[in-house]
Amino acid sequence: MEAYLVAIAIVTGIYVLLALGLNLQYGLTGIINFGHVGFFCVGAYTAAILSQHGVSLFITLPASAALAALAAWPLGLVSLRLRDDYFAIVSLGFSEVVRLIVTSERWLTNGVQGIPGIPRMFADLSGMSQASAVLGLLLVLNLVAIFAMRRMVSSPFGRMIEAIRDNEEAVKALGKDPARFKLRVLMLGSALAGVGGAVYAHYIGFIAPEQFIPLITFQIWMAIIMGGVGRVSGALVGTIILMVFMEGSRFLRDVLPFISEVEMASVRIGIVGLALILFTIHRPQGLMGDYTRK
Amino acid sequence: MRDIIELASIGLVSGLVIGLAALAVTLVFGIARFANAATGDTMTLGAYAALIGTAWTGSFLAGGALGIAAGAATGLLAYHFVFKKLEQRSSVASLLASIGVGFVIRAVLGLVFGHGQQVFQLPMVRPFRIYDIRVQPNDLKIAAAAIVTLVVVFLILHATPIGRRMRAVADDPMLAKVSGIAPKRVMIALWALAGGVSAVAGVLLGMKTVVSPEMGWEMLLPAFAAAVLGGIGHPVGAVVAGILLGVAQEVVSPLVGFTYKIALTYAVLLGVLLFRPRGLFGRNEGVR
């Protein structure tokens, strides 16, 4: 039971990293990134491929962050000057193309079979202490990310990105170039997703293209919208609700054994969809959001 | 050379399907002003409804009609329960909700029909040759159905009062409103039309390949790409761009391989956004 709770906590920690990245992009800056899973995927494959070649884990993590950010750079350069909804489409396409590439380029990624046997973190520890060490690392990573975002929000850069979110035209009129700030935010958020991907790859030990479907992106969207857009507490609470629901649906199968695993997958998709619809209509500011504002 | 022409003719058929999907996207974008990500899943729903209808009645035409009706009904339901409530909000809200609508449709289809692939029982016919170019009779039927649908849609848009009102709202919603056009009726017509067109695209795609819960979602990117390439909100542009994309996909597939066919539409999308964001036919407004 304890091992199970730690395992859930680790997955939650990875999701919180992703949610923090998306929260920075959408919540603070207003970038509609529908391709978050693509950067997660880049991070995971970077870590997996590097560590297969014997690269130390101290390098795979930063390398994953760097490569995910680097992947975001051309994408943002091309499309962040466009309307928000165009960027949404382009980023969704980006994540699908990333998945296409890792599926097709067998020599690098082993195609649909995926990469097994990715070295674990803290391999010299065993069992619970190893899992706890991973959890500790995630805690540190998340705290650093949260601390950095707190600092950022109260900095001139933070005020600028919030201004871009609230009124891009006004920012332009003041002679600033919103696209440059958005590009930096996109890369930062993607780096967070990349780190999340690296921890995921090292923790799960096996990655394959089918793990990086757009549903993951929209689970993160569901988490930040439920929790409350633009708030660190929102990203946390939303992710926890998401995990309760994901794990809960697993237990539901024990209670209702007549539901098959594929049917359960459909139910999960449906609930993510319903949550997106209901929260955008009825509670756009999320559970942790400002209750005075409508 | 003959190979290329054969590929191009195959591409022409899939291009018509992409064009129909893009038409549905661009109609909604032009009038309701957001990118409707539920278009793909509405296509899937239309295909499944047509499968049922064909199984019930034994007639493929009746099945197709049921598919269209189901697509139109889905569009209307989505409008009534979701998009109507988000009209006063930013397009982001509707876009996000449309992802949700798509997911709900896919979940229901997955629960009802399972995740296996199904096929339309079309008669197997020998391909015949026109000027030494192989033509599949089924492809001809698909193309004919697509063209008939396009003609009907453009007749509705250009030769009926409601079509004229729809174009007026697309042009300038405020002006349309002060001219006494009731926005709600236009919206109802729009969602029925867009849902029906999506369903036709789904049925034809299902005839061409197989019917599965993911089929429409996978068409979303090509459909968006064609809508952008044609100039967003421009119906003729969407269809022309869809055909261009379909032909381009088939013609380059021997060069880049089967899997990267979809990546080509993405490259086109990026290229258009970089160099000509208003697309082939679009007006220069509100893109940048």
pLDDT at B248: 92
Task: State how far residue B104 is from chain A, nearest Cα, in angstroms.
Answer: 4
What confidence category does residue B287 fall into, taking pLDDT thresholds of 50, 70 and 90?
very low
To the nearest whole Å, the CA of A267 is away from the closest chain B CA by 6
CATH number of domain containing B61: 1.10.3470
Residue of chain B with shortest Cα separation from A225 = B96
| A225/A230 Cα distance (integer angstroms) | 9
pLDDT of residue A244: 87
- In percent, the amount of chain A with pLDDT more than 70 equals 98
Q: How many domains does chain B have?
A: 1
Dihedral sign of CA atoms A9, A12, A18, A22 in order? negative
Task: Identify the sign of the CA torsion B79, B83, B85, B87.
Answer: negative
State the number of CA atoms in the 13 A half-sphere of A178 facing the CB: 24
The candidate with the shortest Cα–Cα distance to B214, out of B113, B69, B282, is: B113
**Tens digits of residue pLDDT in A91-137:** 999 999 999 999 999 999 998 999 998 998 887 887 788 889 999 99
Residue B111 is assigned to a structural domain of this protein: yes
How many Cβ atoms from other residues are within 10 Å of residue A224's Cβ?
Answer: 27
| Contact check, Cβ <8 Å, A284/B288 | no
pLDDT (0 to 100) of residue A291: 55
Mean pLDDT, all residues of chain B: 90
Average pLDDT over residues A220-249: 88
Do the chains contact at B91 and A85, CB–CB below 8 Å? Answer: yes
Q: Which residues of B233-268 are buried (b: 16+ CB within 10 A; e: fewer)?
A: bbbbbbbbbbbbbbbbbbbbbeeeeeebbbbbbbbb
Of the ranges A144-158, A201-215, B125-139, which one carries the lowest mean pLDDT score? B125-139
Mutation target for B interface from A29, A79, A80, A89: give the one with most B CBs within 10 A.
A89
Could you tell me the CA-to-CA distances from A26 to A7, A171, A213, A235, B231 in Å, in that order? 28, 17, 20, 12, 27
Q: In the predicted model, is pLDDT for residue A294 greater than 80?
A: no
pLDDT digits (tens, 9 = 90+) for B205-255: 999 989 999 999 999 999 999 999 998 889 999 999 999 999 999 888 888
At residue B283, the pLDDT reads: 66
> Is the model's pLDDT at B146 over the cut of 70?
yes
**CB-based contact A17:A61 (threshold 8 Å):** no
**This prediction's pTM:** 0.92
DSSP letters along B241-261, please? HHHHHHHHHHHHHHHH-STTH
A–B interface: beta-carbon pairs under 8 A: 132
Classified as helix, coil or strand, A285 is: coil
Question: How many other CB atoms are there within 10 angstroms of residue A141's CB atom?
Answer: 22
Q: Which of B99, B107, B274 sits opposite A218 (nearest CB)?
A: B99
What does the pLDDT look like over B160-180, one tens digit per residue? 999 999 999 988 888 988 988
User: Between these two residues, A58 and B101, which has the higher pLDDT value?
Assistant: B101
Report yes or no on B22 lying in a domain.
yes
- Of residues B217 and A78, which shows the higher confidence score? B217
Owning domain of residue B57: 2-116+136-275
B114 touches chain A (CB under 8 A): yes
Q: Which residue of A has its CA nearest to B222?
A: A93
Which residue among A90, A266, A274 sits closest to B110, beta carbon to beta carbon? A266
B77 touches chain A (CB under 8 A): no
| pLDDT of A7 higher than 70 | yes
In angstroms, what is the C-alpha Rg of chain B? 18
Give a yes or no: residue B286 inside a domain: no
Q: Alpha-carbon distance A69 to A294, whole Å?
A: 35
Range among A166-170, A258-262, B158-162, B169-173 with highest mean pLDDT value: B158-162
Q: CB–CB of A281 and B99 under 8 A?
A: no
Does residue B129 lie in a domain region? no
Reported as a pLDDT band with limits 50, 70 and 90, residue B119 is confident
Angle of CA points B12, B16, B19, to nearest 5°: 130
Question: Would you state the structure tokens that stand for residue B243, as one six-digit string?
Answer: 């055909």
The arithmetic mean of pLDDT across residues A247-271, rounded, is 80
In a domain, B285, yes or no: no
* Cβ burial, residue B177 (10 Å; 0-12/13-18/19+): middle
Q: How far apart are CA A224 and CA A273, in angstroms?
A: 14
pLDDT of residue B262: 81
Q: Is the confidence at residue B132, as pLDDT, over 60?
A: yes
pLDDT tens, residue by residue, B180-213: 898 899 999 999 999 999 999 999 999 998 999 9
What pLDDT is attached to residue B285?
52
Whether residue B180 lies inside any domain: the answer is yes
Residue type, B272: V
Q: How many angstroms away from the CA of B243 is the closest CA of chain A?
A: 20
Count Cβ atoms within 10 A of the Cβ of residue B112 and give its class: 0-12 exposed, 13-18 middle, 19 or more buried.
Answer: exposed
Q: Hey, which residues does A225 pair with through a beta bridge? A: none
**Residue A143 pLDDT:** 95
Which residues does B27 contact at the CB level (< 8 Å), separation at least 6? Answer: B166, B190, B193, B194, B197, B235
> What does the pLDDT look like over A33-59, one tens digit per residue?
999 999 999 999 999 999 999 888 889
Q: Give the residue-averaged pLDDT of A208-233.
A: 91
Q: Are A102 and A115 in contact (CB under 8 A)?
A: no
Give the pLDDT score at A258.
74
Establish if B281 belongs to a structural domain. no
